[in-house]
Homo-oligomer: A and B are copies of this chain.
């Protein structure tokens, strides 16, 4: 469904959000361990997310990554997905046709539109805030299982 980059990016962002909600700045090593991802590769993804103003980074000793409290309710998961994977998953033809739309639909067009729209709404409506409020955020991380 999503690329590895996008999976790691989502997991990392949620983890950073979770830590930021208790004012913790977290470093790369900690993040990679928590979300079970390769460190150097995760670094690249965090760079992209930083440039796109999803997370912010702090260099030097005691540096790391964080998310402003005020951004939590602004950042929607769909932004992260779009940055890392584009929007083909939400708008592309499921059968891979270049030209497939209302006027010239593939046989599955209408069904695809329905489920893809539902998928899009799912990520459009969920903010980081929402995720943090769920019962099972901490399930995701390699902490105290």
A residues contacting B by CB (< 8 A) are: 1-2, 4, 7-8, 10-11, 14, 36, 88-89, 92, 94-98, 100, 104-109, 111-112, 115, 118-119, 122, 126, 131, 134, 136-137, 139-140
Contact = CB atoms under 8 A, between A and B. Distances in A.
Contacts of A104: 136, 139
Contact of A139 (B88, B106, B122): B106
A144 to B, nearest CB: 13
| Integer count of this chain's copies in the complex | 2
Given A115-B118, A122-B115, A1 B94 contact: yes
Contacts of A112: 122
A94 B2 contact: yes
A139 to B, nearest CB: 6
A111 B4 CA distance: 20
Contacts of A1: 1, 88-89, 92, 94
A126 B112 CA distance: 12
A126 B111 CA distance: 10
B107 A131 contact: yes
Contacts of A10: 95
A100 B36 CA distance: 14
Contacts of A140: 95, 97, 106-107
Nearest to A96: B7
Nearest to A131: B107
Given A1-B94, A96-B2, A107 B139 contact: yes
